Amino acid sequence: MFLLLLHLGLRRGEALILPADAVKDDYDPVSGELRYWLNVDETPYDDEDPRYDAPGLKTEHSRRQLPVSREIVTVADVVVTSYRGRPGHAYLLTSQKGGPLAARSLHEVFERVTGHLSGRARRALADRGSAGVSAHDLRHTCAVHRLRRYLNGGDDMDKAIEKLRVFFGWSEASEMPRHYARAYFETGLAEIWNEHYDAYVETLRSIEGRPA
Which long-range contacts (C-beta less than 8 Å, at least 24 apart) are formed by 168-177? 168/9, 168/139, 168/143, 169/11, 169/14, 169/40, 169/58, 169/59, 169/61, 169/62, 169/63, 169/64, 170/61, 171/59, 171/61, 174/61, 176/143, 177/143
207/168: higher pLDDT: 168
Q: Quick check: is 143 in a domain? A: no
Q: What is the pLDDT of residue 153?
A: 93
Q: Quick check: is 118 in a domain? A: yes
The 10 Å Cβ neighbour count of residue 113 is 16
Considering its fold, how many domains does the chain have in total? 1
Q: Quick check: is 159 in a domain? A: no
Domain carrying residue 82: 2-131+195-208
- Run of H or E including 23: strand 23-28
Q: Quick check: is 85 in a domain? A: yes
Q: Quick check: is 176 in a domain? A: no
Q: Quick check: is 7 in a domain? A: yes
Q: Quick check: is 31 in a domain? A: yes
User: What is the dihedral sign for C-alpha 87, 89, 90, 92?
Assistant: negative
**Does the pLDDT of residue 193 top 80, yes or no?**
no
Decide: helix, strand or coil at residue 73: helix
In tens, the pLDDT along 91-131 reads 999 998 889 999 999 999 999 999 999 998 888 888 888 88
**Does the pLDDT of residue 68 top 70, yes or no?**
yes
**Does the pLDDT of residue 184 top 50, yes or no?**
yes
Q: How confident is the model at residue 198 (pLDDT cuts 50, 70, 90)?
A: low
Q: What is the pLDDT of residue 186?
A: 63
Q: Quick check: is 149 in a domain? A: no
Decide: helix, strand or coil at residue 101: coil
Which long-range contacts (C-beta less than 8 Å, at least 24 apart) are formed by 150-156? none
Q: What is the pLDDT of residue 164?
A: 92
Distances in whole angstroms, Cα of residue 105 to Cα of each of 86, 90, 92, 95, 195: 20, 18, 14, 8, 27
